[in-house]
Chain A
Amino acid sequence: MTSHVSASFGIGRETGAAASWNVVVWLLWIVLLAAGVYGVALRFAYGHQLAGYGSFVPWGLWIGLYFLAIGMSGGAFVLGVVGYILGLPGFSNRSELRIAIVLSVAALIPAFIGVALDLGHTERLFSILSSPVFTSMMAFNAWMYNIFLVVAAVCWLLSFARDSLWLKPLLVLGAFMSVLFPSQSGVFFEAVRTNDFWHSPILSVLFLASAIALGGAGLLVVRALIGPEAVGDEAEAERTRSLDLLRIVVISAIAVHEVFEFAEFSIAFWNPGVFSPNVMFVLFGNYWSVFWLLHILLGVIVPLALLLTPSRGLWALGALLVVVGFAAARMTVLIPGQIAGQIPGLQAAFQDVRLTYHYSPTVMEYLVGCFMVAVGAALFYVGIKLSRLLAQRAGLSV
């Protein structure tokens, strides 16, 4: 016997159980938003002074969340498009395609917010687009995200047309980009040739595998929560099949990620090299709890156990934990690469709180993280509502 979670949030069909879920999720969102707005207010009132990063660990939580959201965005889009073009059960309808597109965009925009707030000069953000230098992976990625946003928006609009020659070609282009930008997020770090821990091509594979896992997990959560647009047993059966498919995708992607992660870390054991201190820091140093408890236990073992059960409600919970786990995984790439200075004695040479090889996110950083999540959730909600409204107006059943 299977159980399932289905809250509609005014989006799909509403049942008694769904109504109570709605209240919980709305309350959670309001709390996240209130906390987030306070965090953003602190960021603008005090600049970066309340943040925990400094000059030796220049990137912190927001950059970790940025790469997490980028992964989810790319993964959701490519899975939605592949499922739609191949006509897989639970993916072959335009309404199902739109869920993937909306989730992808809703994940991408909060990522921009995180980066914008991280900049020393947020007001100069658009100079990355107006005067880019493509020797920098940052400029390349920024352009790619923005072109992808346009492509995704056009695909979304074309999905309301009864016949469009351009929909599938643009979907293919978008899928190409959404494979490219999560893997290029790995290159963002790999391109730092003076950092042994980051300068490894395996990061591209890790980031791509995690993007597929994140996209699958994100789609699984939203597909489990919002319920099908159409009424009827067939629609419900399609949704069940899509959840099952997404479950398999998530499990497979996590397995691939862990194989490559083990491959990366095992080098440090077989033949300790220059980046071994970074690996030791992750596995047994100050970051052990982030790696073992958040990433491996909460993000891999528990979700795999939940995803292997027959309960669809537990699948959604497992998928949610996958997102948390990969947030931790992002931090285990980001922070360890910054904690080992290459000039011995540099930290002691000039003492200041911003000149240390230590980083813990501050309350303000967590609050801004809440804001990113709240904005993403709101964008998804509005996007889905709008999708269904436009579909009705266009006279499309689903």
Chain B
Amino acid sequence: MKEPRKLMQRREFVLAAGLVGAGTAVGVAAIVKDRLPSEPIDPTGEGTVRNLSVLKNLKPQEQEDVLVRMQRELVTAMAKPVEKRHWIMVIDIRKCIGCYACTIGCVAENKLPPGVVYRPVTTHESGEFPNIQIRFMPRPCMHCNNPSCVPVCPVKATWKRPDGVVVIDYDKCIGCRYCLNACPYGARTSDFGRYYSSDAAEGAQAGKDRPVEGRVLPWQREPNNEYAKNWDRKDHGSPVGNARKCHFCLHRLEVGQLPMCVTTCIGRATYFGDENDPNSLVVALKTKNNVQTLIPHWGNQPQCFYIV
């Protein structure tokens, strides 16, 4: 059936213009709507106040360990509604000795499987013998004020809480890994559902002590407690398949405990606290003039500060 050579009738043209115009308008409206500020996902107000009894009977002392001071400040901060707190981390890389206690402490606390890491420590060696310098730099999530990982999520499975912590809802995350590519700090890793013991038989000698091929030992299936929930890995359950990252140990903060990496730092190089408390240790440290942030030119406004 040959079509007439006339391109379009006037009515067809009007309809086409209307469809394209309407489609464009709907698309623009959808984008603008999602760009506008929205109601916070997390609960706020008095319901988020925590009256913790930690260190209640221990009076402040001179020269007390910074961990004790930060613990007190944590209790004070938790007594405020969540929107009145703003958690930040300060890391003194002059004090870091590269012991990796924070990395391992984090892996243990959050029961991280192989290939998932929240707080690696990078090593930078410079100079020539005998004038050599080695610097260690822990790299947690920066909990940026302008996070590049959040807007790329297609299902709003990740967002910034009122207290500044960037979180992931494992039940919503579809595992597209767009956020992994968007984070310039490499702070997000994907949980590919691996287990430490499943490859243990590879290369092992034959005999009664040889591990069973592909066996997953029961302790590796123990649920973890991130975000104060039980996450069961059985049957590909979240967080398997999800993006994962440091969350400043929110589940520990809720009960008055400092993040695991802070607690395990034997050099007292990692500090944590509420930026909204002008008397806090982190505020005093952050305002020093030898404080830097990582790759500031991206405009992410990282909330992890390095004393160099």
Residues of chain A at the chain B interface (Cβ within 8 Å) = 47-49, 51, 54-56, 58-59, 84-87, 92-94, 115, 118-121, 124-125, 127-128, 131-140, 142-144, 147, 162, 165-166, 168-170, 172-173, 176-177, 191-195, 337-338, 341-346, 348-350, 352-355, 396-398
Contacts and interface: CB of A to CB of B under 8 A. Distances in A.
Contacts of B177: 58-59, 120
Interface in B152-177: 152-156, 172-177
A128 B156 CA distance: 10
Contacts of B241: 47-48, 119-121
A120 B173 contact: yes
A87 B153 CA distance: 43
A127 B115 contact: no
What 3 pairs between A and B have smallest CB-CB spacing? A120-B175, A120-B241, A345-B122
Given A120-B174, A169-B15, A49 B193 contact: yes
A140 B3 contact: no
A87 B5 contact: yes
Contacts, number: 209
A183 to B, nearest CB: 14
B81 interface: no
Contacts of B190: 54-55, 58, 120, 354
A197 B23 CA distance: 31
A273 to B, nearest CB: 13
A138 B1 contact: no
Q: Which of B1, B13, B27 has the most CB of A within 10 A?
A: B1
Contacts of B194: 49, 354
B178 A136 contact: yes
A165 B122 contact: no
B122 to A, nearest CB: 4
Contacts of B117: 350, 352, 355
28 contacts: A47-B240, A54-B115, A54-B192, A55-B186, A87-B3, A93-B1, A118-B176, A120-B175, A121-B238, A121-B242, A124-B173, A124-B175, A131-B156, A134-B34, A135-B35, A144-B27, A169-B16, A173-B16, A173-B23, A176-B23, A192-B152, A193-B298, A195-B182, A346-B120, A350-B103, A353-B115, A354-B194, A355-B189
Given A58-B190, A143-B30, 20 more contacts: A54-B115, A54-B192, A55-B115, A55-B190, A56-B186, A58-B177, A58-B180, A93-B1, A125-B174, A131-B172, A136-B151, A136-B153, A139-B155, A140-B27, A162-B1, A195-B182, A343-B122, A349-B122, A349-B139, A353-B115
Contacts of A128: 154-155, 174
A184 to B, nearest CB: 10
Q: Which of B31, B122, B124 has the most CB of A within 10 A?
A: B122
Nearest to A172: B16
A124 B116 CA distance: 22
Contacts of A124: 155, 172-175
Contacts of B298: 193-194
A131 B30 CA distance: 12
Interface residues of B, number: 72
Nearest to B14: A169
Contacts of A355: 115, 117, 189
A173 B117 CA distance: 47
B122 A348 contact: yes
Contacts of A143: 30
B294 interface: yes
Contacts of A173: 16, 19-20, 23
Given A134-B34, A136-B154, A194 B3 contact: no
A162 B182 CA distance: 50
B222 to A, nearest CB: 20
Contact of A191 (B1, B3, B18, B152): B152
Nearest to A131: B155
B294 A343 contact: yes
B261 to A, nearest CB: 14
A172 B22 CA distance: 13
B8 A168 contact: yes
B123 A349 contact: yes
B23 A177 contact: yes
B115 to A, nearest CB: 4
Contact of B186 (A49, A127, A346): A346
B212 to A, nearest CB: 17
B300 A343 contact: no
Contacts of B185: 342-343
B56 interface: no
B176 A194 contact: no
B308 to A, nearest CB: 15
B188 interface: yes
Contacts of B153: 133, 136
B2 interface: yes
B28 to A, nearest CB: 10
A123 B7 CA distance: 45
Nearest to A143: B30
Q: Which of A94, A193, A195, A398 has the most CB of B within 10 A?
A: A193
Given A47-B236, A93-B2, A166 B192 contact: no
A139 B154 contact: yes
B3 A93 contact: yes
B121 to A, nearest CB: 6
Contacts of A121: 173-175, 238, 241-242
